[in-house]
Amino acid sequence: MWRLRECRLNDEQLSSAIGVRSSAVRSRRAKPDLWKLSDIERLATYFRVPTTACLQLNATLHDLPTRLSELTTAERRQLERILPVKKTQLHAYNVTGWPVRHLLQMHQALGTLPHE
């Protein structure tokens, strides 16, 4: 995201480069938590920054519904209570793209779990 701050491209040029509407770029520059994981991956590609973290996170997120179904009922319910997204949203965001704000909220919520 620091490369984005240094970027000399205007909103229209950047939108063309990463494939989102210029109005989306404008609103996301003003409110960075509106960016989606897929946008960040495209930004990283555009700025020639490694995308490994984006790819790994995306794979983990796509695997999350399956992993949740493999947990015991008590474990699954505990996670479902603390996660800011519901099971139906998991599937929807895996199709439409994960908003950064939800990823941050999930990270914070999972950080509250006791470590074994």
Q: What is the pLDDT of residues 47-58, one digit of tens each?
A: 898 999 999 999
DSSP letters along 17-75, please? HHTS-HHHHHHHHHSGGG-BHHHHHHHHHHTT---HHHHHHHHHHHHHHHHHHHS-HHH
Q: Is 11 helix (H, G, I), strand (E, B) or coil?
A: helix
The candidate with the shortest Cα–Cα distance to 105, out of 80, 82, 76, 88, is 82
Q: What is the pLDDT of residues 63-102, one digit of tens each?
A: 999 998 999 999 988 888 888 888 889 999 999 999 999 9
Q: Is 77 helix (H, G, I), strand (E, B) or coil?
A: helix
Q: Cβ(79)–Cβ(46) under 8 Å?
A: no
* Spatial distance between the Cα atoms of 88 and 92, rounded to a whole number of angstroms: 6
Domains of the chain, by residue range, sit at 2-51, 53-110
| pLDDT value of residue 2 | 61
| pLDDT value of residue 116 | 59
The pTM for the full model equals 0.79
Other C-beta atoms within 10 Å of 64: how many? 19
